[in-house]
């Protein structure tokens, strides 16, 4: 017991507790401290879990579980982040400004108001969006209001107990998310605040501005313009996944003069508990079960789903061979059709210097589209902070259901605009007597057969991931899936215009490709497998895909069991 009371982590926790303005996390931490001082090893271990590290501020900002401590999302950590960002902006500009948005997650509104008050107190013009809104509205507002920066309080599609803090930059960055070295510069300022300041004594004021609805109206008008008035009507089922998408999506649809959208009522309004889904991500098994049921009931032509902050979008279409009666399209399939549409429009407008872009782990099919239409094709590192910065971009996507369809308005993935853009594509096809499944068949006939798959190797010991990557680098397989490996690119050394990243790219003799990279957010290694073939050889290509996956699985298990 005596040893527990002298553990320095208890003093660290007490110092944190002194500056915590939140009653809930204050009581939570005070209880842990008292229990640890009384000899509880469980409480002491929990204090170490909360204070031995700190949520790192990177190119995705902050994201983590809500709770007391430097390794959790809370008002102390957010206040330090806001003060650090304010210092960065003040050093960068004479009269900086920031626009702040928030979604419906636990404490999002509180974190946003703290940020606004601290920014204003630090001499930064702070503009708070009028209510909880989708992330793409915040990204739009940075450019629309000419702000120096933007902050969005959201954890996107993370578990319910999480929240986060995402930063955008205006000016020359044009409303894109931060990239190195800026993330490091902001992190240094945050670390200085955490080291030298008590957040309760930081200057703050309620003298920030609150934006009016004209910002939202401008976003709605920009998104509605993607759907031509008088477009062919389809029956649509929409789900907001308990997030903030419905009000904005329905406003956009109404502004475009469109009808026939039925919302999943149980998931329509924001609810931080996400009661009807085990994980609030449209990609997760079971997340669209209520959408499938409603679609069967109304005979929907299309299901459109947003994640909780509406920056991602998923689509499902009728499929008689599926038990649900609908098939969820992959992120790549949606990307192909949206990219094809963007290329056609660029050609029709006489634009020849436009670019299509996707991340290195997305399907290479978009490259075939670009080649067919004489456009530039660019592959970027994962994340829209990179996709959005591609010059002359007309469309960009990543396979994790993120799409940038309106770069003149939003330099980030935008699930609202993407849903509207896909609806426009499907409506145009219907006017020509086609459905989405037939459009995908037409894509194969035009550009060839493309298929993708993923293999995730989840671990409890992170050293296993390092061991697998090391073995792949030192003893790269000569064949995968029964086909010879023709080249191996180590992206850790950089590749072309790509910054260095911990990933390997294997090219196979038949044109197939494998990407291997550690996940940036979870304890797992991910393989991204892409095969391509002439349309008439689709069955052979599917067999290659299965064989490659089997070989990679066996290889990874062998290394993990050493």
Q: What positions carry a catalytic annotation?
A: 156
Rounded distance between C-alpha atoms, residue 105 and residue 242, angstroms: 10
The residue written with tokens 């996507």 in the block is: 397
Beta bridge partners of 239: 305
To which H or E segment does residue 344 belong? Answer: helix 331-348
Q: How far is CA 513 from CA 105, 387, 393, 484, 520, in A?
A: 39, 21, 25, 11, 21
Q: Which helix (H) or strand (E) element contains residue 195?
A: helix 182-196
CA distance 343 to 292: 31
Q: Which residues pair with 125 in a beta bridge?
A: 97
Q: State how far the Cα of 428 lies from the Cα of 437, in Å rounded to an integer.
A: 14
- Cα distance between residue 316 and residue 302, in whole Å: 6
Residue closest to 76 by CA, chosen among 157, 15, 7, 35: 15
3-class secondary structure, 378: strand
Contact yes or no for 162/66 (Cβ under 8 A): yes
DSSP 3-state of 58: strand
**CA-to-CA dists, residue 154 to 60, 121, 406, 501, 541, angstroms:** 11, 23, 22, 26, 40
């Amino acid at each position: 017991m005596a040893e527990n009371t002298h553990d320095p982590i208890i003093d660290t926790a007490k110092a944190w507790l002194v500056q915590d303005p939140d009653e809930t996390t204050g009581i939570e931490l005070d209880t842990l401290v008292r229990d640890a001082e009384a000899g509880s090893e469980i409480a002491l271990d929990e204090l170490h879990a909360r204070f031995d590290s700190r949520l790192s501020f990177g190119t995705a900002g902050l994201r983590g579980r809500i709770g007391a401590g430097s390794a959790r999302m809370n008002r102390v950590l957010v206040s330090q982040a806001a003060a650090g960002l304010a210092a960065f902006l003040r050093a960068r500009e004479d009269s900086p400004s920031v626009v702040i948005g928030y979604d419906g997650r636990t404490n999002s509104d509180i974190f946003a108001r703290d940020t606004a008050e601290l920014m204003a107190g630090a001499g930064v013009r702070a503009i708070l969006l009028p209510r909880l809104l989708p992330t793409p509205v915040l990204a739009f507002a940075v450019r629309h209001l000419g702000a120096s920066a933007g902050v969005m309080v959201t954890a996107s599609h993370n578990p319910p107990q999480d929240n986060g803090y995402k930063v955008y930059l205006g000016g020359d960055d044009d409303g894109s998310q931060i990239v190195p070295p800026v993330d490091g510069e902001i992190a240094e300022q945050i670390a200085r605040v955490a080291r030298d300041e008590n957040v309760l004594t930081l200057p703050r004021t309620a003298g920030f501005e609150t934006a009016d609805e004209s910002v939202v109206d401008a976003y709605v008008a920009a998104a509605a313009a993607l759907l031509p008035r008088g477009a062919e009507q389809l029956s649509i089922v929409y789900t907001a996944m308990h997030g903030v998408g419905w009000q904005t999506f329905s406003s956009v649809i109404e502004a475009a003069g469109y009808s026939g959208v039925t919302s999943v009522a149980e998931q329509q309004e924001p609810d931080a508990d996400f009661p009807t889904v085990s994980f609030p991500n449209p990609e997760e098994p079971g997340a669209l079960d209520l959408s499938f049921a409603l679609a069967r009931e109304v005979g929907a032509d299309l299901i459109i789903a947003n994640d909780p902050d509406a920056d991602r979008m998923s689509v499902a279409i009728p499929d008689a061979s599926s038990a649900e009666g609908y098939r969820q399209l992959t992120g790549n399939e949606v990307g192909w059709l949206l990219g094809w549409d963007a290329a056609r429009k660029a050609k029709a407008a006489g634009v020849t210097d436009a670019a299509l872009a996707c991340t290195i782990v997305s399907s290479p099919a978009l490259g075939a589209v670009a080649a067919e239409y004489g456009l530039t094709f660019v592959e970027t590192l994962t994340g829209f902070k990179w996709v959005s910065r591609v010059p002359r971009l007309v469309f960009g996507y990543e396979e994790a259901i993120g799409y940038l369809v309106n770069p003149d308005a939003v330099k980030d993935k935008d699930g609202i605009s993407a849903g509207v853009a896909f609806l426009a594509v499907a409506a145009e096809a219907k006017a020509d007597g086609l459905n989405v499944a037939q459009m995908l068949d037409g894509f194969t006939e035009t550009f060839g057969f493309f298929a993708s798959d993923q293999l995730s190797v989840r671990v409890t010991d992170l050293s296993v991931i390092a061991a697998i990557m090391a073995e792949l680098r030192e003893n790269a397989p000569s064949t995968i899936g029964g086909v010879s490996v023709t080249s191996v690119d180590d992206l850790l050394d950089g590749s072309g215009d790509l910054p260095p990243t911990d990933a390997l790219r294997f090219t196979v003799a038949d044109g197939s490709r494998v990407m291997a990279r550690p996940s940036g957010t979870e304890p797992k290694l991910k393989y991204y497998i892409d095969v391509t073939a002439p349309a008439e050889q689709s069955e052979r290509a599917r067999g290659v895909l299965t064989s490659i996956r089997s070989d990679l699985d066996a290889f990874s298990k062998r290394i993990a069991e050493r």
